[in-house]
A and B are shown apart, each in its own frame.
Chain A
Amino acid sequence: MTKHTDSGCLYNDTIETRAREIFAEDRQHVYQYTDRMFAGLMIVQWIGAILAALYISPLTWDGASSAIHFHVWLAIFLGGILASFPVYLVWRPIAGIPTRYVMAISQVLFSSLLIHLTGGRIETHFHIFGSLAFLAMYRDWKVLIPATLIVAVDHLLRGIYWPESVYGISGVILLRSFEHAAWVLFEDFFLILSCRNSVKEMMASARQRAELESTKYAAEAADLAKSEFLANMSHEIRTPLNGILGFTDVMIRGIANTENERREYLGHIQTSGRHLLELINNILDISKIEAGQMTIELRSCSPHQVISEVLSIMRVQAQRKNIDLEYIWHSQAPESITTDPTKLRQMLLNLVGNAIKFTDCGSVKIEVQLDITQHEPLLILDVIDSGIGIPLEKRANLFEPFVQADSSVVRKFGGTGLGLAISRRIARALGGDVVIKDTQGSGTTFRITINTGSLDDIFMLPAPSSDALQSQRENSQKEIIQLPQGKVLVVEDGEINRKLIEAVLAESGLEIEIAENGQIGVEKALQNNYDIILMDMQMPVKDGYTAATELRQSGIETPIIAMTAHAMLDDEQKCLAAGCSGYLSKPINISRLLTTVADALYVPHQVDAIDTQAAEAEDNERNDHPLISSLPTHKPVFAKVVVKFVDYLEEQLIMIQEAIDNGDHARLAWVAHDLKGAAGSAGFADFTEPAFRLELMGKNKDLHAAQASLVELTKLSKRIVVPEIEVLA
């Protein structure tokens, strides 16, 4: 099952808050704009009232004598009172006195004045309806309330005491007053609807603008962050490059006089190269995720196995710093869940690696629990360290790509600053998230949640509340693999890689022949007998895929080991589909190269080739110490699981042998797959890789190296320490 991540825009509280700010600003702007318009109208109405009074009733008469009519004075003074205060408020707003309400009161009273001055003309009554519509320009329906109330009360009182002044007839019943008020409310209804719709539109517009702003700021921030990131990367890349080039120069000039010095310098070069590789891998990962190209391969896997593998890988790193690495289940442990184990492992490696990196003493703990209270069950993994902790203010952007929490931290501890961003995106793609939990005091807790898929029919292993698997000190050893006599064809266009492979394999006693491209490789393979072919997949003239396919079509059954720098998940499958027997990713890891060649030559082997953490992570080193299950077997329930597994293992190994003898590819694949899962669940991660190789061999119908893997499994089975029966009782 494959699904793609979705990097959609999150609509969060910040945007909503900003949208509300914009809305408030817009609304204030509307209020101010309408206030100004009303202020102008007030002055016009005042002047209009005076002119109307002067035109309609300029003088009052007493016989032949005249005087200024009362209406003129009324227009001047009452009009002035009505207009002056709201106009003043527009000019000099007084906090706490909403101008628009004063405006509403004034406006409707102006209607009354104008109606009076015009002798109650019905035409002048339209001023009220126009005023209400104008008030709706405030887009605040509450403004209509005082205006409507004044109209209603005025009509009610007039209806009672002086009906002719409004209705033009005497003896009006009270119902007529309500009818007039109802017509005003009729207009109000539509005005209120209009106001509310306008407000909604303003809010929607504000949200859009907030989102645009957010996007713009995010783009600018991303641009800035990328610039800073490039500057950092430039520094980060130059530092190891400087180490590589500098020590290489030292070696070329022969400055290193002793073997110890040479080994030390080579160690520096190797460390620098690995750091560069980590940088590039992270950049590629985040680029793929950002481009929406990350693919998730969901399949059934044992969470316990994945966690055990991670602990196994990180153990040496923890031991170096003398800190405990613990692993506790707080709930029942599902035998298997549906997720992408590779991605889960990557996340855990990242977070546990960080935890160890930032912890100088104390412990790093993985606490796991199953949450079945949600709609879909979740697996919760808390990675808890007792390290330096992360200040609150630094947490906000910690998961952002291209953002590094603190440049001083980066300088001190290294890293690309991309690990958390990658982890969060992976977790989200797996139906969960990665967050920092609030913790009191020192230390940091990262919580990973992932979707487990359906747990129906999944066997649950009961887990004690405080069992912990303490990390165990292991003595890493180096072992030189002795390869038998054999002839190897190396098809590789890169001169450096050719020389490296030639040097390593020749040292191991193999005879090497070189082909510079796929065409030459095919010709040589057809003309000579080789025990193994190492095939680069990207070459000029003829690439490795074509060459491997041609060789298989020509009946060549020699094991072909693909070598490719492609980091895509399906690349291995592509190589196997082309007819290759195995797969090596570039840059070539010498231990893995030797192991793979040994497998192809049917040589049982054990490799603890390198002593650095990254190599251990990649090589799954093995040794001769007894194999103890990573389950808490001092508890009977877990001990039973191990005992059952041992019985089951014997049967499986016999079945594998039979499948190899009978050439039954399908059965081999099925049995190996089954063994792989069971071993992980039983706490024996060492079985995973050889079982997986056998599974692939079965699937690809290529059993050349099957016997070697079976021998390896058999040896591993003999090292298993079975829990005591008495303990079980």
Chain B
Amino acid sequence: MKLFSRILICSVWLLLIGVGVFAMQKYSMTPALPGIAPQQWPASPSLKMIEGKPALVMFAHPKCPCTRASLSELSRIVSNRQDRVMAIVVFMNYATEQNSWDHTNLWDQAVSIPGVQVVSDEQGELSHRFGAVCSGETYFFDSKGNLAFHGGITSSRGHEGDNSGHDAIVSLIQGYATETPTHPVFGCSLKCLHSHQEETL
């Protein structure tokens, strides 16, 4: 085989790999579009703040694989800080008569995090109040109910590890201000439920 042919074959192979790797990184690094968050803790009969304690709320899709990393990050944030923050994971509930969404792996993972309250968002009421549109979207309200952070807490899609969202929340819990009150969210979309809700409402 001639040299040119050999170079061509190898180049095509490397190019295909390059395309694959680029797509991998592109998918991994492309965040979801977050919803519009309320600046104050939204009043809700099913979810109330504890007075004098900041609140950390994460919305999660019960089967979103990317949210596994978000829950892990949440676990790292809350660990040893349970007494300083009220942590809540709100799972969307898409239950129908034919299909149950209770107690998925992610639900079990969230329940296992010490100091974390897990609630099910029946009919999408909470996500609607908070304006959450994608899984892993997290909110931090200070003890006065003011929104201090809104965004994701993973560095990329489904990728655990330190990131600025994680760092911002830890700073806020410790009583410091943060220069990064937001961070991209990487997770599955919750919007179908919203659409359904909006249509219903």
- Is the pair A97, B9 in contact by a Cβ cutoff of 8 Å? yes
Query: Of the 9-residue stretches A62-70, A552-560, A608-616, which lies at the interface with chain B?
Result: A62-70
**B61-91 at interface with A (beta carbon < 8 Å):** 61, 63-66, 68-69
Interface 1/0 per residue, A42-79 and B, CB below 8 Å:
00000000000000111111111110011100100110
Query: Of the 9-residue stretches B18-26, B46-54, B138-146, which lies at the interface with chain A?
Result: B18-26
- Is the pair B188, A109 in contact by a Cβ cutoff of 8 Å? no
- B128: chain A residues at CB < 8 Å are none
In the complex, whether A119 has a CB less than 8 A from a CB of chain B is yes
A69-B163 Cα distance, complex, nearest whole Å: 24
A contact face: mostly helix, strand, loop, or mixed: mixed
Closest to A66 in B: B63
**A480-497 at interface with B (beta carbon < 8 Å):** none
- Indicate the member of A64, A69, A116 with the most B CB atoms within 10 Å: A64
In the complex, whether A147 has a CB less than 8 A from a CB of chain B is no
- B1, B16, B27: which contacts A70 (Cβ < 8 A)? B27
- A105: chain B residues at CB < 8 Å are 14
Asked, given contacts A85-B13, A120-B159, whether A97 binds B6 with beta carbons under 8 Å apart, the answer is yes
In the complex, whether A9 has a CB less than 8 A from a CB of chain B is no
Closest to A166 in B: B161
- Is the pair A63, B190 in contact by a Cβ cutoff of 8 Å? yes
In the complex, whether B17 has a CB less than 8 A from a CB of chain A is yes
A120-B63 Cα distance, complex, nearest whole Å: 20
- Is the pair A168, B162 in contact by a Cβ cutoff of 8 Å? yes
A501-B192 Cα distance, complex, nearest whole Å: 134
**A230-248 at interface with B (beta carbon < 8 Å):** none
A169-B195 Cα distance, complex, nearest whole Å: 37
Closest to B191 in A: A63
Closest to A106 in B: B17
- A71: chain B residues at CB < 8 Å are 65
In the complex, whether A170 has a CB less than 8 A from a CB of chain B is yes
- B3: chain A residues at CB < 8 Å are 96
Interface 1/0 per residue, B169-194 and A, CB below 8 Å:
00000000000000000001111111
- A113: chain B residues at CB < 8 Å are 24
- A64: chain B residues at CB < 8 Å are 94, 99, 192-193
- Is the pair B162, A78 in contact by a Cβ cutoff of 8 Å? no
Closest to A119 in B: B158
CB distance from A643 to the nearest CB of B (A): 83
- A60, A77, A102, A165: which contacts B156 (Cβ < 8 A)? A165
Asked, given contacts A74-B20, A81-B16, A112-B21, whether A62 binds B9 with beta carbons under 8 Å apart, the answer is no
- Is the pair A61, B17 in contact by a Cβ cutoff of 8 Å? no
In the complex, whether B155 has a CB less than 8 A from a CB of chain A is yes
Asked, given contacts A78-B17, A120-B160, A162-B155, whether A62 binds B6 with beta carbons under 8 Å apart, the answer is no
Interface 1/0 per residue, A72-108 and B, CB below 8 Å:
0010011001100100000000111100001001000
**A162-197 at interface with B (beta carbon < 8 Å):** 162, 164-165, 167-170
Closest to A77 in B: B20
- Is the pair A170, B162 in contact by a Cβ cutoff of 8 Å? yes
- Is the pair B162, A96 in contact by a Cβ cutoff of 8 Å? no
Total chain A interface residues with beta-carbon distance under 8 A: 40
Closest to B188 in A: A61
Asked, given contacts A81-B17, A82-B17, A97-B6, whether A120 binds B189 with beta carbons under 8 Å apart, the answer is no
- Is the pair B167, A170 in contact by a Cβ cutoff of 8 Å? yes
- B9, B17, B162: which contacts A169 (Cβ < 8 A)? B162
In the complex, whether B43 has a CB less than 8 A from a CB of chain A is no
- A56, A102, A109: which contacts B65 (Cβ < 8 A)? A56
CB distance from A146 to the nearest CB of B (A): 11
In the complex, whether B28 has a CB less than 8 A from a CB of chain A is yes
- A65: chain B residues at CB < 8 Å are 192
- Is the pair A61, B1 in contact by a Cβ cutoff of 8 Å? no
- B14: chain A residues at CB < 8 Å are 105
- B64: chain A residues at CB < 8 Å are 60-61
A95-B3 Cα distance, complex, nearest whole Å: 10
Total chain B interface residues with beta-carbon distance under 8 A: 46
- Is the pair A164, B155 in contact by a Cβ cutoff of 8 Å? yes
- B190: chain A residues at CB < 8 Å are 63
- B163: chain A residues at CB < 8 Å are 164, 170
A69-B65 Cα distance, complex, nearest whole Å: 9
Asked, given contacts A59-B63, A116-B28, whether A164 binds B13 with beta carbons under 8 Å apart, the answer is no
- A165: chain B residues at CB < 8 Å are 155-156, 159, 161
- B160: chain A residues at CB < 8 Å are 119-121, 168
- B10, B17, B167, B195: which contacts A97 (Cβ < 8 A)? B10
In the complex, whether B164 has a CB less than 8 A from a CB of chain A is yes
Closest to A97 in B: B6
- Is the pair A63, B1 in contact by a Cβ cutoff of 8 Å? no
- B17: chain A residues at CB < 8 Å are 78, 81-82, 109
- B1: chain A residues at CB < 8 Å are 94-96
- A162: chain B residues at CB < 8 Å are 29, 155-156
- A62: chain B residues at CB < 8 Å are 188-189, 191-192
Interface 1/0 per residue, A148-168 and B, CB below 8 Å:
000000000000001011011
- B65: chain A residues at CB < 8 Å are 56-60, 69, 71
A112-B3 Cα distance, complex, nearest whole Å: 30
A113-B21 Cα distance, complex, nearest whole Å: 8
- Is the pair A94, B9 in contact by a Cβ cutoff of 8 Å? yes
- Is the pair A116, B24 in contact by a Cβ cutoff of 8 Å? yes
CB distance from A342 to the nearest CB of B (A): 68
- A116: chain B residues at CB < 8 Å are 24, 28
A71-B158 Cα distance, complex, nearest whole Å: 11
- Is the pair A170, B21 in contact by a Cβ cutoff of 8 Å? no
CB distance from A269 to the nearest CB of B (A): 77
- A63, A81, A85, A164: which contacts B20 (Cβ < 8 A)? A81
- Indicate the member of B21, B69, B92, B160 with the most A CB atoms within 10 Å: B21
Asked, given contacts A65-B192, A164-B155, A165-B155, whether A120 binds B13 with beta carbons under 8 Å apart, the answer is no
A120-B191 Cα distance, complex, nearest whole Å: 28
CB distance from A480 to the nearest CB of B (A): 92
- A82: chain B residues at CB < 8 Å are 17, 20
CB distance from A81 to the nearest CB of B (A): 5
Asked, given contacts A74-B24, A81-B20, whether A63 binds B94 with beta carbons under 8 Å apart, the answer is yes
A70-B28 Cα distance, complex, nearest whole Å: 10
Asked, given contacts A64-B192, A64-B193, whether A81 binds B94 with beta carbons under 8 Å apart, the answer is no
- B23: chain A residues at CB < 8 Å are 74, 78
- A96: chain B residues at CB < 8 Å are 1, 3, 6
- A78: chain B residues at CB < 8 Å are 17, 20-21, 23-24
CB distance from A109 to the nearest CB of B (A): 6
Closest to A118 in B: B158
CB distance from A322 to the nearest CB of B (A): 69
CB distance from B153 to the nearest CB of A (A): 12
A389-B9 Cα distance, complex, nearest whole Å: 59
Closest to B23 in A: A74
CB distance from A54 to the nearest CB of B (A): 11
CB distance from B174 to the nearest CB of A (A): 17
CB distance from A634 to the nearest CB of B (A): 75
CB distance from B155 to the nearest CB of A (A): 4
- B61: chain A residues at CB < 8 Å are 61, 63
A74-B161 Cα distance, complex, nearest whole Å: 22
A-B contact pairs, 29 of them (CB 8 A): A57-B158, A61-B63, A61-B64, A62-B192, A63-B190, A63-B191, A63-B192, A63-B193, A63-B196, A64-B192, A65-B192, A78-B17, A78-B24, A81-B17, A85-B13, A95-B1, A96-B3, A97-B10, A102-B10, A112-B21, A116-B24, A119-B159, A121-B160, A164-B155, A164-B156, A165-B156, A167-B161, A168-B160, A168-B162
In the A-B complex, the 8 residue pairs with the smallest Cβ-Cβ separation, listed nearest first, are A63-B192, A78-B20, A57-B65, A164-B155, A61-B188, A64-B94, A168-B161, A169-B162
- Given A113-B24, A116-B28, A170-B163, output 7 extra A-B contacts at Cβ < 8 Å: A62-B188, A74-B24, A78-B17, A81-B16, A116-B24, A119-B68, A164-B163
